Amino acid sequence: MVDNLAYGAHEALVAPARPKPQIWRLLLGVGLIAAVSYALTSVTFLLVLNLAEGAWIEGLIDGGNPPAMLVLLASFAFLVLGVALAARWFQQRSLQSVIGPMGLLVRQFRRVFSFLLVLAFAVLLLPPYSLGLPLVPNLEFGHWLGLLPLSLAAVLIQTGAEEIVFRGYLQQALAARFRSPLLWLVAPSLLFGLAHYMPIEAGENAVLICLWAMAFGLLMADLTARAGTLGPAIAVHFFNNIVALLVFASPSSLSGLGLYLLPYEMSDTEHLRPWMLVDCAMMLVSWLVARLAIRR
């Protein structure tokens, strides 16, 4: 049973959407977000391809080299612009009202991220374990370190944009229209999971990865409803993607900024599935740590 009392802070995010809660406004808003993001991303990619060499073409498809990966991640900023326009035009609210009070958001982000760093160091102190196969070096360490400030900024843009769309705009618009938390917690999480359905790259693991993303989205939705800002969800998502994109990247896609590559493809059922269980456990622990961090 969902504890409505625990979600009192969520009302600060939902209240600006309540005067105009009609579903048609939400649908038009989602359409506008998609259109703005698609149009501006397409223009950006065309400009990049006209100015750069041919190697960029494949990189912009799979994120296989550092410059293309940076462009791919930074292009998520267009989602934020789409949300800002949709919120203003269809709900007469500001982008600030979608993300929450900036001061509180920053404090919660810093606190949650600090707790997660402590968790990461604690995990590193556990007895040695391996992935079964040796990691594959990807970027030379000096090159990786030099790119790190840009890489972190790009990952923050990407994770922040996804949270603004799913745990911000969608979740709040549904909460303004429907009373049951089960609907406004679950529906955006299902969409978030479907957005991570990649049958070409993941093969037989595609459904499991989709379910993992749905569970992750549900936990981030819970954090947002408890916190009253997007700060904690962005912090957890940012931490997760630093590990998944900048430290141990998948060789299947989005590997351009990784220090190492995992020793197996996303479609490798034998090696990936056992580690997905570990990843699920880490996801739950990260959520619990974030909840501890935002306790008042």
Q: Where are the alpha helices (DSSP H) in the chain?
A: 11-14, 23-51, 55-62, 66-74, 77-91, 95-99, 102-124, 141-163, 171-177, 181-194, 199-202, 206-227, 231-241, 269-293
- What is the DSSP-derived secondary structure letter of residue 257? T
Per-residue confidence in pLDDT tens, the chain, 296 aa = 355 678 999 999 999 999 999 999 999 999 999 999 999 999 998 888 787 766 666 677 778 889 989 999 999 999 999 999 999 999 999 999 999 999 999 999 999 999 999 999 988 887 666 656 778 899 999 999 999 999 999 999 999 999 999 999 999 999 999 999 999 999 999 999 999 998 888 888 889 999 999 999 999 999 999 999 999 999 999 999 999 999 999 888 888 999 999 888 888 777 778 888 888 999 999 999 999 999 86
Task: Look at residue 131 in the predicted model and tell me its pLDDT.
Answer: 59
Report d(CA 76, CA 58) in Å as an integer: 19
Structure tokens at 285: 């622990």
DSSP 171-192: HHHHHHH---HHHHHHHHHHHH
Closest CA to 228 of 16, 68, 73, 60: 16
Residue 94 gets the label, from left (phi > 0), alpha (psi -120 to 50) or beta, of: beta
β-partners of residue 130 are none
SS3 153: helix
Task: Look at residue 1 in the predicted model and tell me its pLDDT.
Answer: 39
User: What does pTM read for this prediction?
Assistant: 0.94
Q: What is the residue extent of each domain of the chain?
A: 4-293
Task: Look at residue 270 in the predicted model and tell me its pLDDT.
Answer: 76
Task: Look at residue 272 in the predicted model and tell me its pLDDT.
Answer: 78
Task: Look at residue 3 in the predicted model and tell me its pLDDT.
Answer: 54
